[in-house]
């Protein structure tokens, strides 16, 4: 019997089969969860629908998380389909190309608002909308990048600031939802070649550096993140909330980054 047998899990932010959200979706399915998938925009529909079929997902909904009415409609639709929800995954982030290619001090007001709205407020809004249909003992999680949130990751710019706000939001939501026995956590994944990562300047160099400098000397995969998400979604983590779980081969612990022993 799987760790998530009989649980209903919604994953927001699936884009394609390279997405961290796909690694999480597959791991949830493997562990017995009933899956629901939401994606952003018609352009992604043709990529997402075939993936949904692979995991026997019958609830596949488009949701623009910048619009409260669409979030409310998604919550209502999910409640009709599943009844109650046990797991909610937020795998959504966006910053304009300009904001990721220019220096941070040149971030535009609109670019800043957009990045924070889509990458952070959507997590708060989804939590608020789905709370009435979440089971006690439920688990809510988001995806962050701690090395860009609490430290500087060159070219990450406003996205790093957004991730810092997302991590802070995780803690405040954990505090709010604790009495309801609903946990709220974040996973900080290492460098993974996703659609979102492709927009960050210098990512190719960063990807190689990550493998060279992390204690385990290897990159992580969407499957690694999926396994960590299963832990946070399952009863194995029932007393863990407000945490940032790093899945990055230990890269975040490194201060001075030099070539590893044995090179």
What CATH number does the domain containing 65 carry?
3.40.50.720
- Report d(CA 145, CA 219) in Å as an integer: 14
- Catalytic: which of 145, 175, 207, 246? 145
**What average pLDDT does the structure give for the chain?**
92
**How sure is the predictor about 42, in pLDDT bands with cuts at 50, 70 and 90?**
confident
DSSP, res 96: -
pLDDT digits (tens, 9 = 90+) for 57-88: 999 999 999 999 999 999 999 999 999 999 99
State the average pLDDT over residues 160-177.
98
Other CB atoms within 10 A of residue 41 CB: 11
Instruction: Tell whether 2 is covered by a domain.
Output: no
Q: Give the residue among 154, 169, 31, 175 at the shortest CA–CA distance from 92.
A: 169
State the average pLDDT over residues 233-253.
95
Query: Given this model, what pLDDT does residue 193 score?
Result: 65
Examine the pLDDT at 147 and tell me if it is beyond 90.
Answer: no
**How sure is the predictor about 213, in pLDDT bands with cuts at 50, 70 and 90?**
confident
Instruction: Tell whether 259 is covered by a domain.
Output: no
- Catalytic: which of 39, 156, 172, 207? 156
Instruction: Tell whether 257 is covered by a domain.
Output: no
Examine the pLDDT at 150 and tell me if it is beyond 80.
Answer: yes
Lowest mean per-residue pLDDT among 104-118, 134-148, 247-261: 247-261
Instruction: Tell whether 1 is covered by a domain.
Output: no
- Report d(CA 120, CA 167) in Å as an integer: 9
Examine the pLDDT at 253 and tell me if it is beyond 80.
Answer: yes
Question: Per the structure, how many domains does the chain have?
Answer: 1
State the average pLDDT over residues 224-241.
98
Query: Given this model, what pLDDT does residue 204 score?
Result: 62
Instruction: Tell whether 256 is covered by a domain.
Output: no
Query: Given this model, what pLDDT does residue 197 score?
Result: 55
Instruction: Tell whether 97 is covered by a domain.
Output: yes
- Report d(CA 178, CA 157) in Å as an integer: 32
| CA torsion, ordered 222, 254, 152, 123, to nearest 10 deg | 40
Instruction: Tell whether 261 is covered by a domain.
Output: no
Q: Give the residue among 174, 178, 237 at the shortest CA–CA distance from 4.
A: 237
246 in catalytic set = no
Give all strands (DSSP E) within the chain, no chain letters.
Answer: 8-12, 34-39, 59-62, 85-90, 134-144, 183-189, 244-247
State the average pLDDT over residues 110-116.
97
Instruction: Tell whether 262 is covered by a domain.
Output: no
Q: What percent of the chain has pLDDT over 70?
A: 91
Examine the pLDDT at 157 and tell me if it is beyond 80.
Answer: yes
Query: Given this model, what pLDDT does residue 246 score?
Result: 97
- Report d(CA 157, CA 221) in Å as an integer: 24
**How sure is the predictor about 209, in pLDDT bands with cuts at 50, 70 and 90?**
low
Examine the pLDDT at 153 and tell me if it is beyond 60.
Answer: yes
Examine the pLDDT at 169 and tell me if it is beyond 70.
Answer: yes
Q: Give the residue among 28, 21, 27, 26 at the shortest CA–CA distance from 7.
A: 28
Query: Given this model, what pLDDT does residue 58 score?
Result: 95
Residue 119 belongs to domain spanning: 8-249
145 in catalytic set = yes
Considering only residues 109 and 196, tell me which one the structure prediction assigns the higher pLDDT: 109
């Amino acid at each position: 019997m799987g760790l998530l047998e009989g649980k209903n899990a919604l994953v927001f932010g699936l884009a394609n089969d390279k997405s961290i959200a796909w690694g999480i979706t597959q791991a949830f399915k493997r562990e017995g969860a009933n899956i629901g998938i939401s994606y952003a925009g018609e352009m992604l529909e043709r990529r997402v629908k075939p993936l949904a079929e692979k995991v026997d997902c019958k609830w596949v909904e488009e949701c623009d998380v910048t619009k409260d009415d669409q979030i409310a409609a998604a919550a209502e639709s999910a409640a009709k389909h599943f009844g109650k929800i046990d797991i909610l995954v937020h795998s959504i982030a966006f910053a304009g190309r300009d904001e990721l290619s220019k220096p941070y001090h040149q971030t535009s007001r609109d670019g800043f608002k957009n990045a924070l709205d889509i990458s952070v407020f959507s997590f708060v809004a989804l939590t608020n909308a789905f709370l009435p249909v979440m089971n006690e003992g439920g688990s809510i999680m988001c995806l962050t990048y701690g090395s860009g949130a609490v430290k500087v990751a060159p070219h990450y710019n406003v996205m790093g600031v957004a991730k810092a706000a997302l991590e802070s939001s995780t803690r405040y939501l954990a505090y709010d939802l604790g009495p309801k026995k609903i946990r709220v956590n974040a996973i900080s994944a290492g460098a993974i070649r996703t659609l979102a990562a492709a927009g960050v300047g210098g990512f190719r160099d960063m990807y190689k550096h990550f493998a060279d400098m992390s204690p385990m000397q290897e990159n992580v995969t969407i499957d690694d993140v999926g396994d960590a998400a299963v832990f946070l979604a399952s009863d194995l983590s029932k007393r863990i909330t407000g945490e940032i779980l790093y899945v990055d081969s230990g890269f975040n612990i490194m201060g001075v980054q030099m070539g590893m022993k044995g090179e």
